[in-house]
Amino acid sequence: MKLDINKLYKPEEWYKTALLLFGFTLPLWREINVIVMWLLGLSWLLLPWNEKIKNLKRHRYSLIAIALVYLSYVYLALINCPQYCNFDQVGQSIGLLLLPVFILGVNKQRIPYSGIFKALGAGLFAGMLLSWADVLITIYKRPFPFFHELQYFFQWIYTGENLLRKLHFHPSYYAVLLVLFLSVLLFGQTLQPLKHKHKIGISLLVALMLLFLFETNSRIGIIGFLLLVVINSMKNFKVKNLLWMFMVMGLVVWASLQFDFLHKKMLQLLQGEERIFRWKAIGELFVKQKNWFWGLGENRATDLYLEAYRKGGYHTALKHAYNAHNQYLELLFKAGILGISTFVYALFHLARKTRLKQDTLYFWVLMVLFAGGESFLQRNKGIFIFAFFYSIFVVFYSRNNSK
C-alpha cells in the first residue's frame, strides 16, 4: 500500500487520525486520552467552518441534550457558593461539552465508524497484554517459586483493581468498554467483514476478552453482556440463537464460579449488597434535607454521604469517601430533580433520535445499566465513554442525518 504524502497535509486526515487515536487510547491511560482529545479539537478547528456550523445546527438538539448534563455540574458547583464553591468537577466534566462539538460538527463521511471500533478493540487488547504482563512480572519478582505463585493468577490478588493498576483504570469502566466492543463485534454489522475474513483470530480474541472480562470482577460488565446476549437472541428469534444464548449463559455462570472474588460479589448481589444499604442510608438523610428539586450541591452532598457512612458503620466507604456509586442518585442528591432530569433526558433523546438502531442499542442499554451501579460521570473515563459514543451514534444513526 502506497503512502500518499499529500494526504498528510489535509486537515480531514488529521481529524480522522485523531478520532482513531481517541478510540485506541480510550482503554489506556487517562493522561494520553486527554492529550488526544485536545489534538482532536485542534484538527476540528482546521475543518471548514461552514460545514461545522451547518452540522451543529442540524444536531443542535442533541448538543443541547448533552450540554444540559454538563450544565447540571456547573449548577451543583455554584449552588453552595460563596461558602462551599467547588469547581473541580466543572473542569473535569468539560469533555461533555467539547467532544460532542468536535464530533457533531462534521459530516458523516469524515468519521471512520468501523475504524473507531477496530481502534477500540486494538486499545483494549493492548491494555489486556500490558495488564497480564504486569501480573506475570509481579509473580516472577515474588520470593516464591514462579509456577507455585502462578496458581493465584485468577485469584483476587491479581484480578479487579489489582489487574488494571498499571493502567490506573477502574475495572467496571474497562468491562463496559469490553462489552461494548464485543457486542458490536458479535451482534452488529459494522465488523462483519473482519469477522468473516479472520474467523480463527477473531474467535481467539473473543475468548481472551471474555476471560479478561471475568478477571475484572465487574458485575455490571457480566450482567451487561448477558443482557445483550438475551436482547440479541430475542431480536433475531431463532432456535439456534436461543440455544446459543443458553450455552453462553451457562458458560458465564460456570466461569463466575471459578473466580473466587467475582463469585462472592455475585452472591452479595443476590443476598442484598452493602451498596444498596448505603443508598438507603444516604436517601434517608437526604429526605430530611427537603431539597428534592434543587439538590444539595457538591460539598454538602459529600458531607451527607460521609455522615450516612459513619452512622451506618460503612467503614470502607467512609475511609475512601465513596460517592453514591449510582449516577441517577448522584445527580438527584447533588443537583436535585433538576439535575437527574438532564441525564434522563439525554438518554431519552439518544433513544428517540436514533431509534436505537444497530450498535446504538448496545451502547444505550449499557449506559442505562452502568448508571445504576456507578457514578461514571464523576470520572474522566466515564465522561469520555459517554460523550464520545453518544455523539458518534447520533451522527451515524439520527433520522435527519444523511450526509
**How confident is the model over 134-162, as pLDDT tens digits?**
888 887 787 777 666 666 666 666 677 88
Least confident of 42-56, 137-151, 387-401: 137-151
3-state class of 27 per DSSP?
coil
Please check the confidence at residue 9 and state whether its pLDDT lies above 70. Answer: no
Convert the pLDDT of each residue in 93-107 to its tens digit. 899 999 999 999 999
Please check the confidence at residue 351 and state whether its pLDDT lies above 90. Answer: yes
Of the candidates 219, 226, 211, 229, the one whose C-alpha atom is nearest the C-alpha of residue 270 is 219
In this prediction, residue 64 has a pLDDT band, given cuts at 50, 70 and 90, of very high
Convert the pLDDT of each residue in 169-197 to its tens digit. 999 999 999 999 999 998 888 888 888 88
What mean pLDDT comes out for the span 216-225? 87
Backbone dihedral angles phi then psi of residue 197, each to the nearest 5 degrees? -75, -35
DSSP-derived secondary structure for 265-314: HHHHHHH--HHHHHHHHHHHHHHHHT-TTT---HHHHHHHHHHHHHHHT-
Helices (H), 313-397: 315-319, 327-354, 359-373, 380-397
Decide: residue 222, CB within 10 A, 0-12 exposed, 13-18 middle, 19+ buried.
buried
Question: What is residue 253's predicted lDDT score, i.e. its pLDDT?
Answer: 63
Please check the confidence at residue 271 and state whether its pLDDT lies above 50. Answer: no
Please check the confidence at residue 3 and state whether its pLDDT lies above 50. Answer: no
Going by the DSSP 8-state scheme, the letter that residue 105 receives in this structure is: T
Question: What is residue 183's predicted lDDT score, i.e. its pLDDT?
Answer: 93
Percent of the chain with pLDDT over 70: 82
Question: What is residue 239's predicted lDDT score, i.e. its pLDDT?
Answer: 55
Question: What is residue 150's predicted lDDT score, i.e. its pLDDT?
Answer: 62
Question: What is residue 11's predicted lDDT score, i.e. its pLDDT?
Answer: 82
In this prediction, residue 257 has a pLDDT band, given cuts at 50, 70 and 90, of low
Question: What is residue 157's predicted lDDT score, i.e. its pLDDT?
Answer: 67
The CA distances from residue 101 to 33, 53, 55, 94, 394, in Å, are 17, 10, 10, 11, 12
Least confident of 1-10, 13-22, 331-340: 1-10
Question: What is residue 390's predicted lDDT score, i.e. its pLDDT?
Answer: 97
Going by the DSSP 8-state scheme, the letter that residue 259 receives in this structure is: S
Cα Rg of the chain, angstroms: 22
Question: What is residue 216's predicted lDDT score, i.e. its pLDDT?
Answer: 86
Amino acid code (one letter) for 110? R
Sequence spans of domains, the chain: 12-273+324-397
Question: What is residue 387's predicted lDDT score, i.e. its pLDDT?
Answer: 96
